[in-house]
Amino acid sequence: MTDNVKQQSPIQIVWRNKKARIGIVILTLFVLMALFGPLLAPYSVTNTSFAPAQGPTAAHWLGTTQSGQDVFTQLLYGARVSMFVGFVSGGIVILVALVVGFVAGYFGGMVDDILSLVMNIMLVLPGLPLMILIAAYIPHHGIGEIIFVMSLTGWAFGGRTLRAQMLTLSRQDYVLSARFAGENPFRIIFREILPNMLSYIIANFFGAVTGAVLAEAGLEFLGLGNPSITSWGTMIYWAQNGDALLNGQWAWIIAPGLCIALLASSMTLINFGIDTVANPRLQED
């Protein structure tokens, strides 16, 4: 009767997954880049004194912008904003999703019906167009506003999965047992249920971050963001306003896009691993 299969810690399971390992390595690199970018950057990000619109050279690995900034420096700084926006929006999205998912999943009944309906509606409202619509009306576009728009349009997906998960878990006998042990609802949620859905939360978090990073880039590209910050999205915005392609400055456009793609896919890859925690069937042989 003993459960003979020795359990591995979730982290081991994730790390054992080859794809997840690649993802973790890439993500770590980007986190380091965001943290230490300014130290690594060859120049100051506000320095506009270089010969403008140059292709890659030894001094400027990725060339310079049309207004004479070093593209590589911008790329390093851009990691900060892009990841900040991504992770903060992702965090807020997950927080909102958790609260809504919990309230809906734990209390059930009418509350659940209403919240589920709201989530389903939010889900079918197309995200980017809604973001554009809101961004088009918002008078100011600071980072805060971008994060707000992102969170507002992004929470429903996480909310729905977390609600479902919450629903499943709160029907588990051990939750009922905890009630028999005299635990209060608060503790039941945080001590009994939450730890068991951690992998879902993290997977959803990464999903939300990926979405936010891509959406931020999209908004910035459309000029609906804040072009005076340096993020990978604004880099592409400026690159295309500065006709980078026309000038043959492909590095100016390719580099930030590649970073976005790598960052986003690193999280997708990590999620391969995290999926296997919740669903052993997906584990690699």
Choose the stretch contacting another protein; rule: CB under 8 A; options: 32-40, 71-79, 96-104, 134-142: 134-142
Q: Closer CB to another protein, residue 3 or residue 39? A: 3
The Cα–Cα gap between 84 and 79 comes to 8
281's tokens? 């069937």
Tell me the Cα Rg of the chain.
22
210's tokens? 């990926």
# chain residues binding another protein, by CB under 8 A: 94
Q: Is 93 in the site for another protein (CB under 8 A)?
A: no
Q: Closer CB to another protein, residue 36 or residue 174? A: 174
Q: Closer CB to another protein, residue 36 or residue 44? A: 44
| Contacts of 36 by beta carbon, 8 Å cutoff, 6+ apart | none
DSSP secondary structure code for residue 104 in this structure: I
| Contacts of 27 by beta carbon, 8 Å cutoff, 6+ apart | 263, 266, 267, 270
Q: Closer CB to another protein, residue 200 or residue 221? A: 221
Q: Is 133 in the site for another protein (CB under 8 A)?
A: yes
Q: Closer CB to another protein, residue 60 or residue 141? A: 141
Q: Is 29 in the site for another protein (CB under 8 A)?
A: no
Q: Is 224 in the site for another protein (CB under 8 A)?
A: yes
Site for another protein in 136-195 (CB under 8 A): 136-141, 157, 172-174, 176-184, 192, 195
202's tokens? 């993290």
Site for another protein in 6-25 (CB under 8 A): 7, 16, 18-19, 22
Choose the stretch contacting another protein; rule: CB under 8 A; options: 35-43, 74-82, 104-112, 245-253: 245-253
Q: Which of 94, 105, 109, 111 is nearest to 185 (CA)?
A: 105
Q: Closer CB to another protein, residue 11 or residue 117? A: 117
DSSP secondary structure code for residue 107 in this structure: I
Q: Which of 245, 259, 274 is nearest to 86 (CA)?
A: 259
Q: How far is the CB of 158 from another protein (least distance, A)?
A: 11
Q: Is 110 in the site for another protein (CB under 8 A)?
A: no
153's tokens? 């349009």
Per-residue CA distances from 217 to 171, 196, 199, 258 (Å): 40, 33, 27, 12
Q: How far is the CB of 32 from another protein (least distance, A)?
A: 20
Q: Which of 201, 178, 211, 199 is nearest to 102 (CA)?
A: 201
Choose the stretch contacting another protein; rule: CB under 8 A; options: 32-40, 55-63, 107-115, 233-241: 233-241
